[in-house]
Chains A and B, each alone.
Chain A
Amino acid sequence: MTRLARSMLTLAAGVTAGLAYAGYAAAADKELLIGDQCDRTGATQIVGTVLCPAMQDYYKLVNSKGGIDGWMIKGDEIDNGYKVPEAIEAYERQKQMGALMMTLYGTPQTVALNARLEQDKIPTTSPGFGISAAADGNRFPYLFPIAATYWSQGAGAVQFAKDQLGGALKGKKIAYVYYDNPAGKEPMPILEALQKQEGFELRTFAVPPPGVELGAQIIDITQRYHPDFIIAHLFGRSPSVLIKGLKGAGFPLKKVVGLVWASAEADILAAGGWATAEGYNTLQFAGAGDNYPVRGEIKAMYKKDGKDPPKEMDDTVVYNRGLLQAAVQVEALTNALKLSGGQKPTTEQVKQGMEQIHDFTLGGLVPPLHITATDHEGGGFVKVFGVHGGKFVQETDWIHPFRDVVLNAVKTAE
Chain B
Amino acid sequence: MFHRESGVFKTSYASDMALYPLPVARWAVVVLAVVFIVVVPLTWSGYFVSIVNLCLIAIVGALGLNILVGYTGQISIGAGAFMSVGAYTAANLVTHLSVPFYIALPAGGLMAALIGTIVGIPSLRIKGIYLAIATLAAQLIIEWTINHVQWISGGVQASIPVPRPSIFGIKLVSERQIYCFLMFFVVLALVATLNLVRSRIGRAFIAIRDQDIAAEIIGINIFKYKLYAFAISSFFAGVTGVLESYYLGIANYEQFQIDVSIDYLAMVIIGGLGSVLGSVFGAIFVTLLPIVSRWFLEGFGGVLFPNADLLNVIPNLRLVIFGGLIIFFLVVEPEGLNRLWRNIRNYFRVWPFSY
Interface residues of A (CB under 8 A from B): 1, 3-4, 7-8, 14-15, 17-22, 38, 40-41, 49, 52-53, 56, 77-79, 81, 83-86, 88-89, 92-93, 95-96, 107-108, 111-116, 119, 131, 180-182, 185-186, 188-189, 414
Contact = CB atoms under 8 A, between A and B. Distances in A.
Report whether over half of chain B's contact residues are helix, strand or loop; otherwise say mixed. helix
Nearest to A209: B257
Contacts of A113: 248
Contacts of B252: 108, 111-112, 182
A88 B299 contact: no
Nearest to A119: B173
B13 interface: no
10 contacts: A3-B332, A4-B340, A4-B344, A77-B311, A79-B314, A85-B54, A88-B50, A89-B50, A92-B50, A113-B248
Contacts, number: 124
Contacts of A41: 315-316, 318-319
B128 interface: no
Interface stretch (B194-202, B270-278, B286-294): B286-294
Contacts of A1: 347
Interface centre among B45, B248, B344 (most CB of A within 10 A): B248
Contacts of A181: 147, 254
B211 interface: no
Interface centre among A7, A22, A85, A89 (most CB of B within 10 A): A85
A115 B51 contact: no
Interface of B: 45-48, 50-51, 54, 147, 154-159, 161, 164, 173, 175, 248-250, 252, 254-255, 259, 287, 290-296, 298-300, 311-312, 314-316, 318-319, 328-329, 332, 340, 343-344, 347
A189 B328 contact: no
A112 B248 contact: yes
Contacts of A111: 157, 159, 250, 252, 254
B82 to A, nearest CB: 17
A178 to B, nearest CB: 10
Contact of A49 (B45, B147, B175, B312): B312
B241 to A, nearest CB: 12
A8 B332 CA distance: 11
A182 B45 CA distance: 35
Nearest to A14: B296
B315 A79 contact: yes
A205 to B, nearest CB: 15
B290 A86 contact: yes
A186 B291 contact: no
Contacts of B299: 17-18, 20-21
B47 A18 contact: no
Given A112-B250, A180-B147, A182-B254, 10 more contacts: A1-B347, A4-B340, A7-B332, A19-B295, A79-B314, A88-B54, A92-B51, A115-B249, A185-B157, A414-B155
Contacts of B293: 14
Contacts of A92: 46-47, 50-51, 175
Nearest to B328: A7
Contacts of B250: 111-112, 114-115
Nearest to A52: B311
A83 B248 CA distance: 13
- The 8 A-B residue pairs with the shortest CB-CB distance, nearest first, are A18-B295, A115-B249, A79-B315, A21-B299, A108-B254, A92-B50, A96-B47, A185-B156
Contacts of B248: 84, 88, 112-113, 115
Contacts of A18: 291-292, 294-296, 299
Nearest to A8: B344
A58 to B, nearest CB: 14
A9 to B, nearest CB: 13
Contacts of B156: 182, 185-186, 188-189
A189 B255 CA distance: 24
A114 B159 CA distance: 12
A153 to B, nearest CB: 15
Contacts of B46: 92, 95-96
Nearest to B315: A79
A414 B150 CA distance: 13
Contacts of A186: 156-157
A21 B298 CA distance: 8
A79 B300 CA distance: 17
Nearest to B344: A4
Nearest to B255: A84
A38 B311 CA distance: 10
B305 to A, nearest CB: 14
Contacts of A52: 311
Contacts of B295: 17-19, 21-22
A182 B290 contact: no
Nearest to B249: A115
B315 A81 contact: yes
B143 to A, nearest CB: 10
B296 A53 contact: no
A378 B254 CA distance: 28
A114 B249 contact: yes
